[in-house]
């Protein structure tokens, strides 16, 4: 059995915007008003999602979800019935890292970024 993705819990994605652990690209750039953000997807970014849905899902992550039986070939990520937090923690791509942040009670809403080295590195 392959090793599951390494999960690192962080405080949030806006006060300290996350950077790719492989190439250093700032993945999320918050707007000045703090109400919105821009996503900068480098080749290492597997996914960006929250408990509210998917913002980015790479072909590589999509293939991994098909391999794990989480989604059918050609299906939309909107058709996945399982918790985003749970299924992203099952990824078995070597060297993959997941950053997770959770809001405090009462919402406990989560947001998730996943990265992995690319084959040519």
Residue by residue, DSSP assigns 94-105 as TT-EEEEEE--T
d(CA 36, CA 28): 10
29 falls within a domain: yes
95 falls within a domain: yes
Domain count, the chain: 1
d(CA 57, CA 77): 8
pLDDT per residue as tens digits for the range 30-76: 877 766 788 999 999 999 999 999 999 999 999 999 999 998 898 88
52 falls within a domain: yes
Contact 56, 114 (CB under 8 A): no
Pairing of the two strands 6-9 and 45-50: unpaired
42 falls within a domain: yes
The residue behind tokens 């949030």 is 12
100 falls within a domain: yes
120 falls within a domain: no
Domain hosting residue 42, numbered range:
6-115
Percentage of the chain beyond pLDDT 70 is: 95
Enter the tokens of residue 45: 């970014």
1 falls within a domain: no
pLDDT at res. 106: 83
121 falls within a domain: no
Half-sphere exposure (Cβ direction) of 60: Cα atoms closer than 13 Å: 17
Q: What is the pTM of this model?
A: 0.89
């Amino acid at each position: 059995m392959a090793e599951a993705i390494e999960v690192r819990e962080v405080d949030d994605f806006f006060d300290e915007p996350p950077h790719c652990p492989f190439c250093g690209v700032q993945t999320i750039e918050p707007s000045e008003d703090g109400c919105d953000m821009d996503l900068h997807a480098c080749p290492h970014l597997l996914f960006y999602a929250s408990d509210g849905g998917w913002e980015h899902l790479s072909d590589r992550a999509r293939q991994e979800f098909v391999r794990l039986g989480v989604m059918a070939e050609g299906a939309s990520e909107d058709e996945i019935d399982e918790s985003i937090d749970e299924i992203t923690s099952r990824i078995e791509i070597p060297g993959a890292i997941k950053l997770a942040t959770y809001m405090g009670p009462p919402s406990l809403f989560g947001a998730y970024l996943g990265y992995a080295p690319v084959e040519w590195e």
